[in-house]
């Protein structure tokens, strides 16, 4: 049954059908499926498939846009369930989160933000297409302990380095730690730009954020 549901979830994203993806997300809640299971083994399978097809020239921009919208619709339904997963009492740290300038991919970044919130972090999500100036300005304004930057394009990942260089120039590290992520981000890249940490997924991002802020035991 759950295998079947996961397949239907993936298919709803491939079809770019937001009504069906939202409905299947509701169904998964009724069936008490773990929301991360639904996202990772259901919806993400569909969006990855469309991404691959797009990369090969077998799918086109409208399909990519519709798949993205269907993903957002499903995640919006599951978000309250994700937030319920966390029951942390203490605030673990303040995170300014953004997708870097020139990049409008928001799904993974938002998921990371939701998981961080669920785990006890206060998250200020600036949204997408955010310049180094805005990210650093907000981090200073709210006295953030951590900046989290997502980049999904090989052409925009360089923006992560810009923010780190600017923080270094202003002498703001290690007061503000930096975590990066996104599909093209590798360990090599992280070492090269001297980020403090990175993760391949949202669950890992929580672990890394805790480690960076010395809260690993919570
Ligand atoms: Co775009 N896109 N896209 N896209 N898109 C990719 C990234 C691409 C790989 C597709 C492909 O060609 N195969 C390709 C990039 C190629 C490259 O750079 N090498 C691509 C392209 C080319 C483009 C455009 C240039 C297309 C065009 O216009 N010709 C354009 C760029 C627009 C721009 O940003 N300026 C574009 C546009 C779009 C849409 C707007 C249509 C849509 C986004 C909708 C939205 O976000 N509202 C879209 C989509 C949906 C995708 C794919 C298919 C899926 C991305 C996604 O949401 N994945 C993507 C293909 C792919 O990645 N396989 C693709 C699901 C999400 C849960 O995963 O975002 O990876 P992800 O996040 C993960 C981890 O990466 C990690 O945790 C998350 C949860 O597990 N993570 C972090 C992410 N951020 C993190 C931060 C952290 C830690 C972990 O710490 C701070």
195 belongs to a structural domain: yes
Do 119 and 153 belong to one domain? Answer: yes
d(CA 82, CA 119): 10
From the CA of 153, give the closest atom in ligand 1: 18
Q: What is the CA(68)–ligand 1 centre distance, in A?
A: 9
Give pLDDT, residue 1: 60
Do 57 and 130 belong to one domain? Answer: no
Opening angle at CA 151, ends 158 and 189, nearest 5: 50
Q: Can you give the pTM of this predicted structure?
A: 0.93
Do 67 and 97 belong to one domain? Answer: no
Give pLDDT, residue 90: 74
Report whether residue 149 contacts ligand 1, using a CB cutoff of 6 Å.
Answer: yes
| Mutational pocket test of ligand 1: of 10, 51, 102, the residue with most ligand atoms within 8 Å of the beta carbon | 51
Report whether residue 76 contacts ligand 1, using a CB cutoff of 6 Å.
Answer: no
Q: What would the pLDDT profile of 48-86 be if each residue is shown by its tens digit?
A: 999 999 999 999 999 999 999 999 999 999 989 988 887
**SS3 per residue for the chain:** CHHHHHHHHHHHHHCCCHHHHHHHHHHHHHCCCCHHHHHHHHHHHHHHHHHHHHHHCCCCHHHHHHHHHHHHHHHHHHHHHHHHHCCCCCCCEEEEEEEECCCCCCHHHHHHHHHHHHCCEEEEECCCCECHHHHHHHHHHHCCCEEEEECCCCCCCHHHHHHHHHHHHCCCCCCCEEEEECCCCCHHHHHHHCCCEEECCHHHHHHHHHHHCCCCCC
Report whether residue 51 contacts ligand 1, using a CB cutoff of 6 Å.
Answer: yes
d(CA 106, CA 201): 14
Residue 26 corresponds to which tokens in the numbers above?
Answer: 């509701």
CATH number at residue 43: 1.10.1240.10
Domain-ending residue, one of 54, 71, 86: 86
> What's the domain count of the chain?
2
d(CA 165, CA 170): 9
Stretches where the chain sits below pLDDT 50 are: none
Do 199 and 124 belong to one domain? Answer: yes
Do 125 and 207 belong to one domain? Answer: yes
Do 106 and 185 belong to one domain? Answer: yes
Give pLDDT, residue 137: 98
Give pLDDT, residue 59: 93
Domain-ending residue, one of 36, 68, 86: 86
- Per the structure, the complete domain to which residue 71 belongs is given by 2-86
59 belongs to a structural domain: yes
Domain-ending residue, one of 52, 86, 120: 86
217 belongs to a structural domain: no
């Amino acid at each position: 049954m759950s295998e079947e549901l996961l397949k239907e979830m993936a298919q709803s994203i491939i079809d770019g059908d937001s009504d069906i993806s939202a409905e299947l997300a509701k169904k998964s809640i009724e069936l008490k499926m773990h929301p991360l299971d639904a996202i990772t083994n259901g919806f993400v399978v569909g969006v990855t498939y469309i991404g691959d097809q797009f990369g090969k020239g077998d799918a086109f921009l409208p399909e990519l846009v519709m798949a993205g919208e269907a993903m957002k619709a499903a995640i919006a339904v599951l978000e309250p369930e994700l937030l319920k997963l966390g029951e942390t009492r203490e605030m673990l740290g303040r995170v300014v989160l953004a997708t870097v300038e020139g990049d409008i991919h928001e799904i993974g970044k938002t998921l990371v933000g939701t998981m961080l919130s669920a785990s006890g972090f206060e998250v200020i999500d600036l949204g997408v297409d955010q310049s180094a100036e805005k990210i650093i300005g907000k981090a200073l304004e709210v006295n953030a302990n951590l900046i989290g930057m997502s980049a999904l394009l090989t052409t925009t990942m360089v923006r992560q380095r810009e923010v780190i260089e600017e923080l270094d120039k202003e002498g703001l590290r290690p007061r503000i730690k930096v975590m990066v992520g996104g599909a093209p981000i590798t360990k090599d890249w992280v070492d090269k730009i001297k980020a403090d940490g990175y993760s391949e997924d949202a669950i890992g991002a929580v672990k890394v954020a805790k480690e960076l802020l010395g809260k690993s035991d919570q």
